[in-house]
Amino acid sequence: DTMSRDPLIKVYASLYPADAAALEAVNAVLASWYVEDAAELAGDLLRISHEGEYFPTGEVVEALKPFLREDSRGRLDEIDLEAWTLRRWFFDYGRLMSRRASLDQALESCGTR
């Protein structure tokens, strides 16, 4: 059965500023997991966009750590549709923070009152 399955994981990320070395580090991780065409560099903005059955989020975050600088800005969102959670990593001022919430909570906090 070759029907495409609904994605279980959606990952969206951006990191600024970034360079070709950061893209190479991310692509090396993704290649080892057979994930293709998920990362791109637009000027000095690194973008990641992927929907599928799996994504090596932890390894990608680790690969980006050496590239975080004082002026780094960005985040990585991992939406797990099976566990119904949103995990968000923040890349701010060379620091890395992470938060996790259920999608219900995440959607509520984005809603208007």
Q: Decide if 54 contacts 8 (C-beta within 8 A).
A: yes
Range 75-95 average pLDDT: 95
Strand partners, 96: 91
Q: Decide if 92 contacts 20 (C-beta within 8 A).
A: no
CA triple 103-104-110, angle to 5 deg: 85
pTM score, two decimals? 0.88
Token readout for 15 is: 């990191």
pLDDT tens per residue across span 12-65: 999 999 999 999 999 999 999 999 999 999 999 999 999 999 999 999 999 999
What is the model's pLDDT at position 28?
A: 98
What is the model's pLDDT at position 1?
A: 45
pLDDT tens per residue across span 90-105: 999 889 999 999 999 8
Looking up tokens 């995440």 gives 106
What is the model's pLDDT at position 30?
A: 98
Residue 88, φ and ψ in degrees, nearest 5: -125, 125
